Amino acid sequence: MVEFVDSVGIAVQLIYYPPYHSKYNPIERCWGMLECHWNGARLTSAEAMLAWAGTMTWKGLHPIIELSKKVYRKGVSLTRKAMKEIETRLDRNPALPKYDILILPH
């Protein structure tokens, strides 16, 4: 996100949902509807899963389905020095420091 903020040159505010509040997150609610939709279906392959996901509707809309084959590296982390540099650009809300973060561009 820090790289994105630098590329567009504007500040971005991240607001995270606290634990156990997924009912307010539209993505989580969509996942719940998908789980109900394919309840009991035999998802024996990626193709079967994509086909089932493509037939669901949520709020009258069909989702856009795409299989990602990107492999993400595991164990990638920043050094303390690198994280300290990034922290200087983060403006955390004192009342909610874990859930309300403003990322400032360079």
Q: Of the ranges 6-15, 52-61, 79-88, which one carries the lowest mean pLDDT score?
A: 52-61
> pLDDT band at residue 21, thresholds of 50, 70 and 90?
confident
> Is it the case that residue 12 has pLDDT exceeding 90?
yes
Instruction: Give phi and psi for 28, each to the nearest 5.
Output: -65, -35
Say what the pLDDT of residue 18 is.
78
How many structural domains comprise the chain?
A: 1
> Is it the case that residue 92 has pLDDT exceeding 90?
yes
Say what the pLDDT of residue 54 is.
87
Mean pLDDT of 68-72: 92
- What domain range includes position 60? 2-103
Say what the pLDDT of residue 28 is.
80
Instruction: Give phi and psi for 24, each to the nearest 5.
Output: -90, -10
What is the largest distance, in Å, between two alpha-carbon atoms of the chain? 50
C-alpha angle 53-31-42 in degrees, rounded to nearest 5: 45
Helix ranges restricted to H, 1-106? 2-8, 26-37, 46-55, 80-87
Residues belonging to the chain: 106
Q: What tens digit of pLDDT does each residue of 26-57 get?
A: 778 777 888 888 888 888 999 988 988 888 88
